[in-house]
Structure 1
């Protein structure tokens, strides 16, 4: 079937699909009662997310990220895992004037190294882990004040409130991604991951 759009017409931009290779430099689990995570050797992944993790479940309650629903509305859970990159965390730390931002402080489950501009991977990107797990990116993880306060406290900032306000400003488009489970299994620290970016297009205005 012929394409309906001329990619060179100036009305629409189409970028071809591509593949990248990264590595799970760290894996982290959140206790069932708190969003902050701790490093572990491996994650057991089910169709509900990470077994025993704070964000596990087929559904979740809406919050500030979903203003179109009353807060607390039950909805599908597309936020099974939070994924961050070491270079982007370093960039956030520099902007906040602190030494580091650890993945655990902001509730990250995966630290993926080797993928440039991880937070800019588009929705629909698929992550194929060497041991068999497949994750699908839902979108960017919008930074919030709760994570900001955790950073401020753990980094030893003098003004925790100022830190909680600063984080959402400087971490936008650097705070990583959220993804849901397409194929369960086990993810181990150090495991290779194939990143498959789908064909992308910009919807014409």
Structure 2
């Protein structure tokens, strides 16, 4: 007799859920550099944040995309960097620093109220009360470039050692990258509905 059992019956599936968050900080990189500055609000279209360093429908591939020749034009899924203050504090502790400021590593948003923000899965939707919707692409892997900037801004004695330490100290604490699904304006203090999709682990 034909076995009609679905493969999904053998896989643990976690249901979708909703969380509440708040915008604790908004930041923009208006110059030809990834470091940001604090502001009161962000204006977004389908390219990302107006006049931001990472805005654009497309971007050039880099070290994170070894499957392409460096500089290949590709879709820009890295329009915004989203962080959590508690995770930044853990990363700072791992580097022996008093703090890591969101601006130093190019944050656009700092969110409060979401435990383990960096572990939110790809496909998570962020619905801002003012009307903006962002979609999470995935974790933002910590890199030496951001580590070097932290070491410089924090006044570390050994800049290169700090650059190398950050990827280890901030592993799975570096926050998320995402893109604009519905444009508009995001303001400091705004409420956010976080909708985590159904999840499972794929094992072939």
Q: Taking structure 2 as the reference length, what is the TM-score of the superposition? A: 0.96
Q: Which residue of 2 aligns with 1:152?
A: 151
Distance 2:139 2:191 in 1: 22
- Tell me the CA shift for residue 69 of structure 1: 0.1
Aligned positions of 1:19-98 closer than 5 A: 19-98=18-97
Residue 188 (structure 1) aligned with residue 187 (structure 2): yes
- Tell me the CA shift for residue 4 of structure 1: 2.8
- Tell me the CA shift for residue 53 of structure 1: 0.1
Q: Which residue of 2 aligns with 1:121?
A: 120
Q: Which residue of 2 aligns with 1:132?
A: 131
Distance 1:105 1:3 in 2: 52
Runs of 4+ in structure 1 off by over 3 angstroms are none
Distance 2:181 2:34 in 1: 22
- Tell me the CA shift for residue 32 of structure 1: 3.4
Deviation track 1:79-109 (CA, whole Å, cap 9, x = no partner) reads 0100000000000000000000010000010
- Tell me the CA shift for residue 156 of structure 1: 1.0
Distance 1:121 1:98 in 2: 26
Residue 101 (structure 1) aligned with residue 92 (structure 2): no
Q: SS of 1:139's equivalent?
A: strand
Distance 1:184 1:116 in 2: 26
In structure 1, stretches of 5+ residues that fail to align are none
Q: SS of 1:162's equivalent?
A: helix
Distance 2:160 2:192 in 1: 37
Distance 1:48 1:91 in 2: 32
Distance 1:126 1:80 in 2: 15
Aligned residues: 201
Q: SS of 1:161's equivalent?
A: helix
- Tell me the CA shift for residue 31 of structure 1: 1.8
CA-based RMSD of the aligned residues comes to: 1.2
Q: Which residue of 2 aligns with 1:18?
A: 17
Q: Which residue of 2 aligns with 1:199?
A: 198
Q: SS of 1:167's equivalent?
A: helix
Q: Which residue of 2 aligns with 1:175?
A: 174
In structure 2, stretches of 5+ residues that fail to align are none
Distance 1:143 1:110 in 2: 16
Q: Taking structure 1 as the reference length, what is the TM-score of the superposition? A: 0.96
